Amino acid sequence: MAMKLPETGLSHDAIISHLTDLKKDDISWEEGRTPMFIFKAEPELSKVTQEAFNLYFNENALAAHRAYKSIRKMEDDVIAIGLDLFHGTGAGRGFFTTGGTESIMCAVKAAKTWAREERGDPKFHGNVIAAETAHPAFRKSCDLMDIEIRKFPVGEDYRADPAALEAAIDEDTFMIIGSAPCFPYGVVDPIEELSDIAVRHGLWLHVDACVGGYMLPFAEELGQKIPAWDFRVPGVTSISADVHKFGYAPKPASTVFFRSQEFAKHLVFHYNEWPNGLYATATIVGTRPGGGVAGAWATLHSLGHDGYLRVTRRLLALIDRYKKGIEAIPGLRVIADPQLAIIAFTSDEVDLLQAGNRMAQRGWLPSFLQKPRGMHLMLSLIHEKACDQWLADLRWAVDEQRAAEPGTESKVDVVY
């Protein structure tokens, strides 16, 4: 295909044929061959959510307040559902965003603006304290906003170490971070202990539940031992949660919530100095796809409470199958005690980065950890039919690597 704009437009059939051909080398996510990136519940759900997305294919959610009142209504509904799930009803406030990174950026921006107002210093930048497991979106946010971020090793249980975080607090600290769960190891940080620290020092506590937010309430209801993490914990100021992960909505769809309007007001961008007049948004981006909002609304209402329980029950059983299968392979061990859909595992006997490369030879996309050297999975129901074959190929890859001659290894880049 030409590497410049064609002189004349291509036909429908030519476009679709070319795009279909381009996809041939992509990973086959439908077969559960990618360890992350795709989150699916039930096939019937995909049909209705894609139809809902396409119904709002052309609408711009930036104009929800003025031109598309239906999008505004759907956003309000999604936020109300999230607040109910996370025990933030009443004074709580939330906003619909395009993804976890934007939700995190919104929380950091709001916290910084709050800190400036609290201190009476419009030029204050300060610092943020987090465990090393906090998502890179926090560092990205701090880089963009000229904030220092201080990260510290996790404890022996792979969770944030409250004592280490508290010891790092100084007069310029305004925010601390907890994860529910953290992405590397799939464990929920001790949010209640972090809350005590936040209250004691007058700090903003953000809980990053981008991965777990829309799974945690249902896992807890099904009997999973989930430590308190949401607005039930008094020091939690804000929460980020992706609807397009374990809410199973089409991308892009995320949410960010605040304990009260007093905290939420610090997020809003409000400008009135240009010729067109007032420009105000509560998100980082301006234009947002209306389809993302419609798809999220359709997903939540299609599954409902019973549907989320049904899907979560199946997923928890699947996670247990993978964990037991991994631990049945000699030399492998699951890291910590993951409570949700992320499984990380390592080995003292076999280089799993090299074993992961061998998995790629059989058509799997490996996901790696660099600390400790290991592998990583984030499961959804697309991985049900792949489970037995993945475990068999993992056993093969580990055996092959164990038998490999010393000195035959090549460098492996650990990439998210």
Full-model pTM: 0.93
Rounded Cα–Cα distance for residues 381 and 43 (Å)? 10
Q: Residue 344 — φ and ψ, nearest 5°?
A: -115, 140
Rounded Cα–Cα distance for residues 352 and 361 (Å)? 14
Q: What is the mean pLDDT of residues 86-113?
A: 95
pLDDT score for 405: 58
List C-alpha distances in Å: 65 to 73, 253, 270, 281, 290.
9, 18, 15, 10, 12
CB 348 within 8 A of CB 189: no
Domains of the chain: 49-301 (3.40.640.10), 304-397 (3.90.1150.10)
pLDDT score for 124: 96
Q: Is 202 left (phi over 0), alpha (psi -120 to 50) or beta?
A: left
pLDDT score for 5: 86
CB 156 within 8 A of CB 190: no
To the nearest whole number, what is the mean pLDDT of the chain? 91
Here the tokens at position 236 are: 């939690």
Please give the radius of gyration of the chain, using alpha carbons only, rounded to the nearest integer: 23
pLDDT score for 414: 62
pLDDT score for 280: 84
Compute the Cα dihedral for 248, 334, 412, 26 and give only its sign: negative
Least confident piece of the model among 25-39, 66-80, 209-223, 305-319: 25-39
Rounded Cα–Cα distance for residues 170 and 404 (Å)? 51
CB 223 within 8 A of CB 253: no
List C-alpha distances in Å: 341 to 193, 314, 344.
24, 11, 10
pLDDT band at 286; cut points 50, 70, 90: confident
pLDDT band at 37; cut points 50, 70, 90: confident
Q: 212: which DSSP letter?
A: T
Least confident piece of the model among 41-45, 205-209, 256-260, 405-409: 405-409
C-alpha 16: how far from chain center = 31
Contacts of 234 by beta carbon, 8 Å cutoff, 6+ apart: 195, 199
The predicted-structure confidence for 198-220, as pLDDT tens digits, reads as follows 999 999 999 999 999 999 999 99
From the list 256, 203, 248, the residue with the least C-alpha distance to 79 is 256
Q: What is the mean pLDDT of residues 387-403?
A: 93
Task: Answer with the residue of higher pLDDT: 169 or 277.
Answer: 169
Q: Is the model's pLDDT at 38 over the cut of 80?
A: no
pLDDT score for 232: 97
